Structure 1
């Protein structure tokens, strides 16, 4: 019988890893998307890099981190961030760039600065796609957090891999079931946030 406290501790580690990496991804992705709006060259470089990282299998990304950063929690966060960046950057950038240029010209005509255009026009227009990207990144981070157990991140992945190694179905389920519930929670919660921001934006 798997101890409840052990499962709870692993779940806490997993949540810390998933949401910590997601928070770092958001903190990096949104400024990168904003910077990309004003530099096509920067946009092409960022999108190309993000697409290359996204094309690499998740297991390979986790493995490639080890020679540079070693093993443990921090390298695991780095590996997850690499994979979670693209959906947020791409969706935020596309949302901001979809604003009609006539609207941007009109905003400049009434004296709005670039910062004000970003704050009051481009970002509100990007809320729905941005949160859709964050939702996808969160689900992705949750799944990769399982894989990072192989480099010592701990969490629910450790229970899953220990269970697989010892043919212990109970331990596999004890690790997999909370991860599935977390994925469902991320999907439902961010769908509601996405819908709220989308409806707020459409009512303006």
Structure 2
């Protein structure tokens, strides 16, 4: 039986791993999506690289970190981030691109700077697609964080694998149920944040 202290510690490790990775992925992806608006070559390279990494099985991405970087928290963050980048970059880029050109022309005509156009027109327009990408990336990160227990990241994956190795259903469920709960919490929290930030006229 898993001690409550062990479960709490594993849950906190899991949360830190998922949200650290998600934060880094967002910080990298959104600027790349903006920069891709100005360079078709960059957009091509970024999308190709993200699609290529996405095509590799998650377990293979996790496993390849060991000979390249080693084991522990940092390799786990990199492995998860490589899989989380694509949905955020792709959806943000699509959202930023799908703005009526006439609206951009009007904004430029009334004297708005590029920064103001991004801030007040492109970004709000991109929120629905961007948050869809972030939610998917967060749920993906949550699931891959379980796999990274194989390379020493700790977290709920460690408890789940203990249950699998020992054929212990109780231990398996003790690790799996909080992981499922976190996935649901991630979905709900980002949905609420999206509703709060998205202008009323853009909501479905």
In the TM superposition, residue 138 of structure 1 has moved relative to its aligned partner by: 0.6
In the TM superposition, residue 157 of structure 1 has moved relative to its aligned partner by: 0.3
- Structure 2: distance between partners of 1:65 and 1:200: 44
| Structure 2 partner of 1:190 | 190
Asked whether the equivalents of residues 124 and 201 of structure 1 are also in contact (C-alpha less than 8 Å), the reply is no
| Structure 2 partner of 1:117 | 117
Instruction: Map 1:1-204 to 2 at 5 A.
Output: 1-200=1-200, 202=202
Could you say if the C-alpha distance between residues 70 and 126 of structure 1 is closer, same or farther in structure 2, counting changes exceeding 3 Å? Answer: same
Q: Deviations over 1:12-49 (max 9, x none)?
A: 00000011101111111110111111111101110111
In the TM superposition, residue 170 of structure 1 has moved relative to its aligned partner by: 1.4
In the TM superposition, residue 167 of structure 1 has moved relative to its aligned partner by: 1.3
Asked whether the equivalents of residues 124 and 199 of structure 2 are also in contact (C-alpha less than 8 Å), the reply is no
In the TM superposition, residue 195 of structure 1 has moved relative to its aligned partner by: 2.8
In the TM superposition, residue 199 of structure 1 has moved relative to its aligned partner by: 4.3
Aligned residue-pair number: 203
In the TM superposition, residue 69 of structure 1 has moved relative to its aligned partner by: 1.1
- Structure 1: distance between partners of 2:151 and 2:112: 49
In the TM superposition, residue 197 of structure 1 has moved relative to its aligned partner by: 2.8
Asked whether the equivalents of residues 72 and 151 of structure 1 are also in contact (C-alpha less than 8 Å), the reply is yes
Range with greater deviation from structure 2 (101-110 or 141-150): 101-110
Asked whether the equivalents of residues 65 and 75 of structure 1 are also in contact (C-alpha less than 8 Å), the reply is yes
In the TM superposition, residue 201 of structure 1 has moved relative to its aligned partner by: 5.4
- Structure 1: distance between partners of 2:201 and 2:175: 39
* 5+ residue gaps, structure 1: none
- Structure 1: distance between partners of 2:201 and 2:85: 24
- Structure 1: distance between partners of 2:200 and 2:43: 28
Q: What SS does the aligned partner of 2:112 have?
A: coil
